[in-house]
Amino acid sequence: MENAYHKVYVLAYRLAGNRPDAEDLTQEAYYRAYRSFKDYEGDKPFENWIYRIVTRLFLDFLRSRRRRIRAMSYDAPLTGENSDEIHYYEVPDGGPDPESQMINETLSEELQLVLASLSTEQRLLVTLADVEQLPYKEIADMLGRPVGTIRSRLHRAHKLMRLRLERLREGQKAARPFPVRGVLAVGAK
């Protein structure tokens, strides 16, 4: 069961993109699974059932986040409602923590960059189909879409990923110095 917990957390992390949200999604998924265990069909894999719960929770989380996010300037001071105190926003260290680093190392850095550049729906589809290797039918059931729609959207996401990977690799090659007739030249063709 602990192995399933880790897999659920990794899925939640890949979907949410940060540790606190992944922990919340994982905890809520197991709580809901416990509450509705009577609905679990024992002949089907437990992991697929809990993945479906996590995916639905993530989609609900995104919908609620869109409704409550307000844009504000980093330069604007924060003031309390009933307070005269003024606080200034400090940007946290953007570097990955050790856990994020370990999870991200399971995929190449290039692939992680491309995966992060996809839309939320595309990232969800690629994660479920390619990383978690769920069947298209399961994904279609989770998202309430026809299997054909899942296949076509996944195909488009794969095509976009290939294109972005190629561009990324071309950009890296162009930035690297390489030898020309025994002389090191930058950007020579």
Dist. CA 176–CA 160, nearest whole Å: 25
- pTM greater than the 0.85 cutoff: no
Answer whether 53's CB lies under 8 Å from 32's CB. yes
Which residue bears the tokens 């794969």?
158
Give the pLDDT of residue 178. 40
65 in a structural domain? no
95 in a structural domain? no
48 in a structural domain? no
Which residues in 50-111 belong to E strands, given as ranges?
78-79, 86-87
**Total domains, the chain:** 1
CATH code of the domain covering residue 131: 1.10.10.10
**CA neighbours closer than 13 Å in the CB half-sphere of residue 52:** 19
154 in a structural domain? yes
pLDDT tens digits along 89-112? 666 666 666 656 655 555 567 787
150 in a structural domain? yes
Is the pLDDT at 130 greater than 90, yes or no? no
6 in a structural domain? no
Give the pLDDT of residue 4. 80
Answer whether 161's CB lies under 8 Å from 154's CB. no
Dist. CA 176–CA 15, nearest whole Å: 33
